Amino acid sequence: MTSSPLTIGIPIFPQADLLDIAGPYEVFTQQFSKVYLIAADMQPVKTSGGMKLVPDYTFDDAPKLTLLVVPGGPGQIRMMTSRRYIAYLKAAAESASHVMGVCTGALLLAAAGLLDGHEATTHWDSLPCLNLFPRVSVSPGYPRYVISGTRITTSGVSAGIDGALEVVALLAGDEAAKEVQLLIQYAPQPPFDDGDPMSAEPVVYRKVEQGLKKTQQTRIKQIIRLLKL
C-alpha cells in the first residue's frame, strides 16, 4: 500500500481517551506516512486509562496539517478553557483541509468555534452539551459519524475508527479505505447489542447514564461558563 504525503496531527492532552487517539491513529498510519501526536510540551501525556503517550511535536513547532484530529475524554472538560489548547486548534485548522472530532472532541471543536455553521455529533451522553452551542447543528439520532463540509465528527470512542475510515476515503479514495479496513480486519461483531442507546437494554442504559451523570453536569456547567465569557 502506498503512503500519501498528507500530514495528520492529533493534539493530545492529559486524561484523553486512549481509543479516541489510537483508533484513528491505527487507521491513518496504514495509509498516511505523516501522523503525529502533538502536545503542549514533550513530556509523556497520560491518558484516562493510565497509558502514557510520547508527543512528536509541541504546539509551538508542529508542522502545518492536512488533517486535524481532536480526541475527547474526561480531560476534555478542562481543555475547553485552556487558552493555549484552543488557540492551537484554531491555528491548526486554518491550514488543514479537514478537521475531525472524535467523541467529545467535538465539544473542543465547538469551543474553538470550528463547528460553527456545521452539523455534528458526539458521544450520546454529551449530545445535550453539544446542543448548548448555538451555532452548531446537532445531528438527530446517534449516527456513528457526521460529515459536514470539511468537518467530520463521530459518536463515542470506538466510532473514531469508522470516522477515520471515511476520512481515508475522502482524502485517498474508497479503494484505499477498503484496503485499510481489510488490513486491520475491521468487521466488528460485538457479543452484545448494547453499543447504542437505541438498542441497549433499559437496565444497562440507566446504569451507564447514571454513572455518567456527574461528568455530564460538569461539562454543561463548563460550557455555560465558557459561553458567558
- Tally the C-alpha atoms within 13 A of residue 41's C-alpha that lie toward its C-beta: 2
Size of the chain, expressed as the number of residues it contains: 229
By the 8 A CB rule, do 161 and 169 touch? no
Contacts of residue 93, defined as CB under 8 A and 6 or more positions apart, other chains included, come to 68, 99, 112, 114
Q: Which of 53, 65, 69, 103 is catalytic?
A: 103
Examine the residue annotation and report whether 129 is marked as an active-site residue of this protein.
no
Question: Three-state SS for 160?
Answer: helix
C-alpha cell at position 131: 446542543
Q: Which residues are catalytic?
A: 103
